[in-house]
Structure 1
């Protein structure tokens, strides 16, 4: 082993279960707003106080008891991120039951596998379609007794059913929940193979939340403001559950937005006005591209790009100063930044509600240029790192010593090691108990209390961790060159036209890429392409294809500038459709199913490499012509 980072514990040990925080907050500050809900998708936000939430949790817990749900029983929740998800999960924890999150977009086979593997006694679904999905597999699920539908008023029915149960019964059950009791069976997204159920305890889920709140809670809002978070990440994923835990344990006002479309999310951000933003890289990339597209449509594209460049330069200079490596922004840079603050940056912040000043990106690495951009416009966004098996985040940027391009240092109480092959190993209080019904996989992942994460990275001398990719994603070309695809894919996605990218090349002579385009930006790009005006339709299409080929060629060339020649992309193909959950190429947590993508596009990949030797070099864009043995193929 090498590169060890260790931070001392900093929080008090947990004495009960997760539901206790709802009751403790209600007793301490009964009128504190803790949740916000809307009766209609675009309706006004209505605040729910701590005591009101506690009463809803108690009433629903009584209904669960009346329905036969007991300590240790497992109940699946198959719904989008919505208000009922939070009330239901805390009601289940209050009676000692275990929550089994299921993505509402899961297939019939996935639903059957999870409900059977977890031996669920009940499942809460959102709509009639989900009822039909569960109903089609009920015959194979002998443990399943209840199917509750949220949109059909299931929670109201449960509340009425529980009226005969005294509150003391709920209190008694809640008080016997131990910190090391299982709270959640979280199934991995399943980028390859069947999902595995990670058993997470009340202690493991609370640990990162309490540590982050103790050390960084004051950064969630400016002084004098109650922190607020718009929850739109799936609660079916541990990242979303951690956000929920942070809010309920830290007195942070939380609103729910079930629709992750750009329009719905934009409207919710403007009206809810959060102070802190939790997202994944694709969200922060999309926000940036929407800023750029709006500026270009208003005829201010050049102004935005200058402002964005100034923001990155300013943030980089500030970082060098706080790390003791420079004197900070010079006079001219400070002057330019101040000008753009008045004319550009404050308008960008207003589009996000006007109050966001910090954020976290998790799930996969965020490109440093984007992190610097957001910091430069007044919203510090850093990378977070964690896994389902670690119950959420395990690193954080030290206050006043934040370092872009890293995921920070180990949380207090957590140890991180990097093995000789570059794999990151983790030990600490947030680790899972193991995989349910799969001792072999548990033994293969947990080694003497250390979790083998499957991620690759390195620690510097100050203990900052940098993630370089997934161990199983490393590509080995036929020439024996090992290539981590993450950096190339990150750089490609920075181009406004590129929505997704998958780098390929196992047992191939060179690295290649499959690229999908952002449909909104593509439409905008087509409208603003002068060379397309005039001529017949066939000639316009040919000019458009040539222009698009050149533009994507520039994106590939830019990506290649960040890696060595042997790691550069020499061949690529633009695909007609994106990777999404509907075609099975994207997990519900927005991660690429690489193995599935390679199998799905096997014929295209083969044709792409065969065409490499046949396409005349003079047809390639100038940027691509500078590469050795390069090629580009459009579909």
Structure 2
């Protein structure tokens, strides 16, 4: 059993909670821009004083409507300024936010709002409102509903602001005073990859312990008045939510956009100094850049530049650093290639924070080599997002970093990762049995497998519940293979199979965005999608991806055969969670014929 911990760099206050962050900012940095909203194609900055005033105005409306301390309030919307505004307003009346993905089905919405006992909900669109209205019989406690963008009339923010006008500052302050560090801040429902989503209760203490320790540990990235972060991941997910709070605690300028469709334009206009993303975002940046280079006849130059970036990054970790020849090549490619790539990411960002899945060593070294270091971290909903992250000045690529200061990571005898600290969740809502199963003696049993090196850097090796055991008795961790196969530009998703089978196989889906480019470059643009998926050239390219992944494992663990599926795994098809995790049981059920074909 191995264990590693770091001393805390922040002490959670004995009183108060997250609303105090906004009061402190208004007192210390009254004229500093802390948040920006999109207006008329541009950005409108709000100072700490202005943002606090808007939050309090909406909070008074919630109070006037009957929302009381401890009540649960649903929030169903894409990432946008109003999401953060409402989150802090809900906290300011002592209530508890229940985030719901805007892509959720009626059944999922009913479960999240019903199980939590939500008394009110704010939705984004008339379609969302119609869905909630259709669930009224199932949600008797849900008596208040507002819409941010109604078909007609004022929206939720305007209605709440107007309704709250009669509420005095003293009345609101009394409600805010009910919030303590151990008060529930939110109930976040887990992805539900293996059954009904569980409501994970996170306290104000958990958020403050995480952000209060992350911000000083990454101090050069959180410079008040200079740094900024653009948030485009769903705020219903804890990863984006913690960045929202970290930006408020620092404070730094926070921008919010609803999706990645216009991400390049949003990065160019907002020009963040930090980018938050998941591995798929960074994979697409790399793959799109390479495809553009190939299309313009500059593929060989890009490939040499990429190889130089990887070599340069690796050399940074070696004694003596990069040699003279490598430094000269790196300088040349910086002028030809790297600067253009950094410009795509806004031009000012030197670092990104990545989580949700492993990025892979090659991409990690590539991005650091172009002057854009991706700091990988690791966490779960139950740990209020990051429980480990790479230091800005000593990242160890291929690992997910060291423990959050003030916390501890332990590797059990069977390789399971155990966590301890103030950042852990309190309980699963209404589910004491499930809580007792994973919270034992103050340690959270994650179900993930990993290893700690002598310096406390954590490496992930798989998930205990996902380990496959072949007919030959070989234990196989799917994540190792899946992450490497998925890194190929043509691959959208991959699921490794082989439980009880004679060898390991895989189901692959093809990236619809990249496939037309790939086909055009090979003179196959006239073929339809079904013909492309069966074309020998595409199957050969996918076979190369699988062969490359197999280099990371033993022959007994390697993928011997694969099948290409006609469509993609999506949330709508029921094969991905809102946070883009595979629902393995659903895929196994729905593609049983294709899996059987691998072995026959």
TM-score range, shorter chain: over 0.9
Distance in 2 separating the partners of 1:61 and 1:308: 50
Superposition deviation, residue 176 in structure 1: 2.7
**Closer, same or farther in 2 for the Cα pair 1:379/1:542, shift >3 Å?**
closer
Distance in 2 separating the partners of 1:478 and 1:132: 50
Distance in 2 separating the partners of 1:543 and 1:83: 41
> Which of the residues 490, 513, 522 maps onto 1:520?
513
Distance in 1 separating the partners of 2:87 and 2:533: 55
Superposition deviation, residue 220 in structure 1: 4.2
**Which residues of 2 match residues 502-521 of structure 1 at below 5 A?**
502-521=495-514
Aligned to 1:626: none
Distance in 2 separating the partners of 1:51 and 1:466: 42
Aligned to 2:545: 555
Aligned to 2:204: 202
Superposition deviation, residue 375 in structure 1: 0.3
**Which residues of 2 match residues 185-334 of structure 1 at below 5 A?**
185-220=187-222, 226-261=226-261, 264-320=262-318, 326-334=319-327
Greater CA drift, 559-568 or 293-302: 293-302
Distance in 2 separating the partners of 1:175 and 1:537: 65
Secondary structure, aligned partner of 1:193: coil
Distance in 2 separating the partners of 1:195 and 1:541: 39
**Closer, same or farther in 2 for the Cα pair 1:377/1:522, shift >3 Å?**
same
Distance in 2 separating the partners of 1:499 and 1:258: 22
Aligned to 2:72: 74
Greater CA drift, 489-498 or 366-375: 489-498
Aligned to 2:361: 368
Residue deviations 1:461-512, cap 9 Å, x none? 1111101111111111111100001111111122111121111111111111
Superposition deviation, residue 67 in structure 1: 0.1
Distance in 1 separating the partners of 2:439 and 2:11: 26
Aligned to 1:85: 83
**Which residues of 2 match residues 333-412 of structure 1 at below 5 A?**
333-412=326-405
Aligned to 1:116: 114
Aligned to 2:10: 11
Mind listing any 5+ residue stretches in structure 2 that lack a counterpart?
Answer: none
Residue deviations 1:277-303, cap 9 Å, x none? 111111111111111112112211111
Distance in 1 separating the partners of 2:533 and 2:300: 24
Secondary structure, aligned partner of 2:164: helix
Distance in 2 separating the partners of 1:133 and 1:192: 25
Residue deviations 1:10-29, cap 9 Å, x none? 21222311011111101111
Distance in 2 separating the partners of 1:249 and 1:156: 27
- Structure 1 vs Structure 2 CA RMSD: 1.6
Superposition deviation, residue 537 in structure 1: 7.1
Superposition deviation, residue 396 in structure 1: 2.2
Residue deviations 1:132-179, cap 9 Å, x none? 211121111121111111102111011111111111211222123111
**Closer, same or farther in 2 for the Cα pair 1:537/1:143, shift >3 Å?**
closer
> Which of the residues 603, 608, 612 maps onto 2:598?
608
Residue deviations 1:534-593, cap 9 Å, x none? xx979x958970111111111111111121111110010111111111101111111111
Aligned to 1:106: 104
Aligned to 2:416: 423
**Closer, same or farther in 2 for the Cα pair 1:111/1:542, shift >3 Å?**
closer
**Which residues of 2 match residues 568-607 of structure 1 at below 5 A?**
568-607=558-597
Mind listing any 5+ residue stretches in structure 1 that lack a counterpart?
Answer: 321-325, 611-635
Distance in 2 separating the partners of 1:65 and 1:218: 39
Would the aligned equivalents of 1:319 and 1:402 in 2 still touch at CA under 8 Å?
no
Would the aligned equivalents of 1:220 and 1:358 in 2 still touch at CA under 8 Å?
no
Structure 1 residue ranges (4+ consecutive) displaced by more than 4 angstroms after TM superposition: 540-544
Secondary structure, aligned partner of 1:416: strand
Tell whether 2:179 aligns with 1:180: no
Aligned to 2:21: 21
**Closer, same or farther in 2 for the Cα pair 1:53/1:543, shift >3 Å?**
closer
Superposition deviation, residue 595 in structure 1: 1.5
Aligned to 1:169: 171
Distance in 2 separating the partners of 1:205 and 1:17: 9
**Closer, same or farther in 2 for the Cα pair 1:537/1:448, shift >3 Å?**
closer
Would the aligned equivalents of 2:359 and 2:376 in 1 still touch at CA under 8 Å?
yes
Secondary structure, aligned partner of 1:417: strand
Would the aligned equivalents of 1:205 and 1:392 in 2 still touch at CA under 8 Å?
no
Secondary structure, aligned partner of 2:570: coil
